[in-house]
Amino acid sequence: MLFLYFFLVSSAILGIDVGAEKLRVGYINPGKPLMVLSDDLNNRYFREILTIVPKTGNTIKLINETNFRNYDYYFNSESKALKYPNKTIRFFSTFLAKIPSKEYFKSLFARNIYPTLSVIGNYRLTYNGILPEVLLYHALDRINHTLLAHDPQIEEEVTYFAVPKFMISQERNSIQSISHMLNYTSHIIDQSQALSFAFAYSHHNKISKSTLPLRVAFLDIGETNTQITITEFAGKKEIISKEIYYDYNNQLGGRDIDVIIYNMLMKIYPSKEITDSDKEKIMQESTKIKHRLTTNEEAIGFIETTPPFGYNISRIEFNSELYPILEKIKKMIIKCPRVDIVHMIGGSSRVPSIQNIARNAFKVNKLSFSLNSEEAICTGATYYGATMSSSYKTTFSLNHSSIDLYDKIKFVNSSGKQVDNINNVGQYMYVLSDAQIFPHGSSRIMAEGLISEKSEFVKNSDGLYRLKNSTKKDPHKWKEYFINQQQSIYKYVFETEEISKMVDELETLISTSKIAMKDKETMKEICTEREYNNMETVINTTEKWMMKQKKYEYDVLKVRLNMFRDAISSVMCRYENKNSLETVIDNAYKSFDKIKLFIKENWSSSSRKRRPSRKDIRLLLAIISDTEIWLEERKRLQTKLSLYENPTLKWYVVAMKVNVIVNEFNSIKNSLYHVLDIKEPSFEKDLVLNNVKVSK
């Protein structure tokens, strides 16, 4: 591999490709190869959508601590997103810190995205009452938990977010602010820069053998934008990569291709009226058709709308309808300088007609697919992070220089109308003027009163531009809204999940207690008549209370559950002990005997390579011996108690102690993975703790 490692601490490098709806995460740790993280469903990306459903049918405006209980929240629920498409937030990263304007709203509607939009402080937009940063926070939190589950030894994480080059500083600041709230050490880089590193590390030999600078074009067709970057590579031990051309169109992407197929399907939809849910079904089917037409000449299928209908779309028909988009891509390409290699990036770059246009317009014999079209950016960002880290050394150095974008920015008032004179902007000024040309990475959108005639931008070490000589008003009031929303929603989601768990637990306890109450002979032995009657009253009262509840309140349910536990715990402990204690103790002794026998037969006289260390064996035997002594002492104390008294030797405590010993033994045994001829002991399989096996 291209990296040489040495250990300081377990310092992980993350490279995150910030896509429209998905985050792809590259990950590298000293001594381990680069990998792409997968989510809980083994998808090699982290997709984030949020459906917000008003309980009263009211329009969603701004969710805060006073009204957040008026809505239900569903993270990553495809069924809810299909049922309530206009109340679902998708493509959250493209919504971050956007400027409210007629052009922006028009672009959303053209892509069949119809959220309820509201403007809050700092002229930030909320989507269905939520700041899109809430979804980013949730996605990064999931990534953090996934990473820790994958490698619990990680002590430090450094994260490099790869974003489109045209993303302005305000949007980048949102990403960095949210990552800092989750204790990420984060940096923002351009996706074009990440692609350069991905290409350099996978094509080092090709670059070093080239006598002339190798000119590479990256055509990146994302979900909501298209970017073209042309970079020159040269050098051997020191590779110089220099961006010489960049262009983008944030109104052209994979979603626009899906909309074209959607319009084709709507022409054959058999009804004049259509529900929002059916629109979303057709939109999702359009995405599937796009993927099928990349390999097949036609796509045939059936959509279960109301009414249902079938379709048969050929690639020829599709290409004909795709002509306007192909022309836009062609116009972008023909302005580019000559290139040697063209790399296709992004899922929609697989469309054959787009590949043909790219090949002909760039005037190359064939396109290159040596980089993973969907994961090249996140792996490139990870390589970049590893290059910047002192924990890694590379076999060559890479110096990259980027193109800086500049825009001539106008004053606009609250209605979106351009204002030519700075003195006539008034109190609703929120976009910087065209008095000078500012870097594209500048914070275009500013809160009221932040800009003065002496204001200027300076570029900081993090690559972001900051406003200098501004007024003292806080430009980050949106963070207050975000923290408010994030805490409120997380509290609601947590309570909803906990309510479901508590209801299940309470129902299980009631059911188990009622079964025990029917065993009257055993109950007479272990409890008094008064205890029996009290327990019967508690069960009946709690059951009636549950039947009356239309909706559970978290705090009330928690109190009820604890009261029920306290009321039945003493009697049920004695009941379960009488039924389970002897079996659990018998299984414990059998497990101990089999472990000792296994050690005697396999590890007593084995060579060091075929057995664990003597220290581990002695420690395991000592734990078994201590547990046996503890068990005998408790058994002796137990014999002095009557059946009406609470036991000193509880069956589940014995089961847990045995579970610890068996797990420790299995851990030692499994560490000897190279020893294949050791016979495994067959422990008793009926040792159960709350329906969970505690020994194998």
Q: Residue 696: which residues within 8 A CB-CB, separation 6 or more? A: 662, 666, 683, 685
The string of DSSP letters for 607-636 reads -GGGS--HHHHHHHHHHHHHHHHHHHHHHH
Tell me the mean pLDDT in the region 69-92.
89
For residues 444 and 100, the answer to whether their CB atoms sit within 8 Å is no
Instruction: List the domain boundaries for the chain.
Output: 254-321, 409-439+446-472, 519-696
Q: What is the pLDDT of residue 104?
A: 80
User: Which residues does 58 contact at the CB level (< 8 Å), separation at least 6?
Assistant: 70
DSSP string across 19-61? -SSEEEEEEE-TTS--EE---TT--SSEE--EEEEESS-PPP-
Strand pairing class (226-234; 238-249): antiparallel
Buried b (16+ CB within 10 A) or exposed e, 215-249: bbbbbbbbbbbbbbbbbbbbbeeebbbbbebbbbb
pLDDT value at residue 453: 52
Q: What percent of the chain has pLDDT over 90?
A: 36
- Is it the case that residue 114 has pLDDT exceeding 70? yes
C-alpha distances (whole Å) from 69 to each of 52, 73, 120, 548, 551 are: 11, 10, 20, 21, 13
Residues 6+ apart with CB under 8 A from 424: none
Measured CA to CA, the distance from residue 446 to residue 169 in angstroms comes to 11
CB atoms within 10 A of CB 442: 21
The two most distant CA atoms of the chain are separated, in Å, by 97
The two three-digit tokens of residue 324, written as one number: 């306007």
Q: Report which DSSP code applies to 303.
A: E
- What average pLDDT score do residues 136-162 get? 86
Radius of gyration of the chain (CA): 32
CA angle 663, 666, 668 (to 5 degrees): 110
pLDDT surpassing 80 at residue 18: yes
Token output for 332: 């972008």
Closest to 433 measured CA to CA, from 443, 419, 448, 416:
419
CATH ID of 254-321, from 2.40.30.200, 3.40.50.1110, 1.10.150.20, 3.90.640.10: 3.90.640.10
Tens-digit pLDDT profile for residues 619-644? 888 999 999 999 998 888 888 877 77
Using 50, 70 and 90 to split pLDDT, how confident is the model at 430?
Answer: very low
Structure tokens at 13: 């490098």
Q: What is the mean pLDDT of the chain?
A: 82
Please report the pLDDT score of residue 675 as a whole number. 45
For residue 201, the one-letter residue type is Y
Q: Average pLDDT of 367-378?
A: 91
What does the pLDDT read at residue 436?
Answer: 46
Q: How far apart are CA 58 and CA 688, in angstroms?
A: 50
Provide mean pLDDT across the span 660-683: 64
For 662, residues 6+ apart whose C-beta sits below 8 A from its C-beta are 591, 595, 683, 694, 695, 696
**Token pair 């990870």 is at which residue?**
382
More confident residue, 61 or 663: 663
